[in-house]
Amino acid sequence: MKAHGKTVSLILGSGGARGYAHVGVIEWLLENHYEIRSIAGSSMGALVGGIYAAGELDTFKQWILALSRSDVIRFLDFSFSSEGLFKGERIISVLKELVGEHEIEDLPVNFTAVATDIERQKEIWLSDGPLFDAIRASIAVPTIFTPHEYRGMRLLDGGLLNPVPVMPTLRDRNDLTIAVNLNAAHNGLPQVNVKAAEGEHMRNSRNPYQQRILDFIESLQRGSKKTAYGRLSMLELVSNSFETMQNALSKLKIAASPPDVLIEIPRSASRAFEFHRASSLIELGHEKTAAVMADWQRAK
């Protein structure tokens, strides 16, 4: 299916590791000759969208495809602050090394990262200045990452107020507005499990310190299932509460400003912190985009 050069405003929603699906969405659009002229993103949508706008998506893709659980653990810099478990400085430093530092206003694609000013309880659009300041602010999930101090504001995850930020693109003069919602209801798609062999290999190859950190994170994420319903760990509770809120907000935002095309990735596709599952999530994004765009073409 060729799009004959249709121009696109692309909205990339928040949703933790499911944000890897954005890579598959973008790849399908480019393969089918859509021209992405502007991007607005919240949280992982801001991270993936910003890196694409900087022209470094392929570099990022190759890096995430090689990530293991233990790699993800190494990027977590524990905070002793009551405002968040992790500082987030280490992962931002790694990403800067990977893709370089960029100013948003110099990017070849218009880009807006959405964050939340927690003190004024206000949605903030970051469309100029250092790219990774905007990304760091937009990915600051409450209680998981500490707030990002920037321009006199204390900024948190954009998904708090706008998990699918269509509004920043409304003035664009492009042919299509395409939004990606990562918080859709379960639709029966099979989940792809990480190979058991990968987990065994990682356990055999890491040092005892890494193992203790991994055990700690896994205990936070999974908890011990002592009842029929299971006992949610702190991290799961925060994640599930945040995603429940984002699900409701996503519906409201999409209803208020409907995009031309809506691509929905189910919440069941992965847990928020399964950042070692890039391959299956990228593939899911590609497949969902192909199916939705085929339906859109038939309906024209």
Task: Give 30's contacts (C-beta < 8 A, 6+ positions apart).
Answer: 36
Whole-number Å distance between alpha carbons of 135 and 145: 13
With tokens 């002793």, the residue in question is 80
Beta bridge partners of 113: 41, 126
Whether residue 13 contacts residue 183, with contact meaning beta carbons closer than 8 Å, is answered with yes
Whole-number Å distance between alpha carbons of 73 and 88: 12
* 106 catalytic residue (yes or no): no
Report how far apart, in Å, the C-alpha atoms of 109 and of each of 9, 42, 51, 217 are: 10, 16, 11, 37
**In the chain, what's the furthest Cα-to-Cα distance?**
58
DSSP character string of 161-212: T-SS--GGGTT---SEEEEEEEEEPP-SPPPPPPPHHHHHHHHHHS-HHHHH
* 82 catalytic residue (yes or no): no
Residue of 38, 157, 250, 270 marked active site:
157
CA dihedral sign of residues 166, 171, 172, 177:
positive
- What the block records as the tokens of 51 is 């890196």
Residue of 38, 42, 43, 280 marked active site:
43
Active-site residue list: 43, 157
